[in-house]
Structure 1
């Protein structure tokens, strides 16, 4: 069987579980063959050995079970960084880059103290560390398995100046000095949301997805507690569901934040809300 033939087969079989079956088929083939996607296009008549066909079938079976492609491949690109991905943490989504972009635009001091709550795979903390090596970044997670994955990603990317703390939300950094920026992509899906049963979510850690009957429990807690952990003029940035923007802005305003606003993701949906704590003299 040639590359062209197997690529066509894979594309057809992936169509029921993927919005981009052709791309996923190319990625699976490239993974098994150890070649870039451009090589597949250049050598469509290349014959595939049985060993490669068997390996491709194994990956295809995992994907057809509903496993996220990032779990099948064991990695996902985020902010140009290749992050290891598996069932220990959420797969990093492109939407979260909206939060990273906003954080990098903020007028923070050169050695800003930055806290990433619920870091998961380490995506936000490591992206910020790659762009701002002088920032003092700490990342927390209540799940030791997630934290282990974040450690592994930091080591592989040579971003080991990021500090990791185990614990729930602000308990993980109790007694530490105030922060110039606190950011988080917390759980924000309602516990009975039907999306939890599809789109690969059954294979991701539920505790990192679900937050009470409205999906707002953790967002409420972080918004209420953050002012006690921020410097005067410090910022809080929160990722949330695309319909939760009004509720999160209200939470931030109720917590005393000013300059409250929301940024949209790549699809134009409200995805990250944030605000600044008033200066000491305000």
Structure 2
């Protein structure tokens, strides 16, 4: 029996780095217990994707003009990041394994971008997704942010582009080190079907104004979501129960990934 290909395949290139992990619906234990038990919207968002971790513990320092960096894998003190820096020892490892014509082209670990305090960080990963699917690289939702940085989100069409997974960050405080550790996720890699960001789809949204625009279907939906539960005996998490039952029923009819994949072959609405 043939095995279906994985929806996403990560390639971890830096030896010993922590591999991506399925995002945790509890927000790595940081969500309030009521949210974990009853708020399906919050837990689903927290678990939608894979956590991406820094390949090693390192620190960044922005003095207002220059960026400096320091890594646990290097015995040196603060080093200036005026252009780009390789992960310690990785260039040699890359050249030893790469075809001859590709030697010397290992991805930089850190790159200082022209904007003040902005750094590009390589996660140590490459990725290939199933046809029609992309990866949205973003700050992990519903997790406490890493103090002192802002993460720029990026959407990569990893079914067609097999290159390093980078993220850009902006350092928001000066003269105080920012520490990034492999024990805490830096990014969430979130799967996105290509039709979800097609211009025709996004430009097709509508807005209707006023209660007079609510038809029978809309009032029926509001009744099921709000009014009927309010009249019944109060049980926390009605939405969570309904969503889990619906999801369980959908998964019982076949692989949800391949059902969604079949939708990507249809023309965008």
Q: TM-score, normalised by structure 2?
A: 0.22
Higher Rg: 2
User: Which one has a larger percent strand, Structure 1 or Structure 2?
Assistant: 2
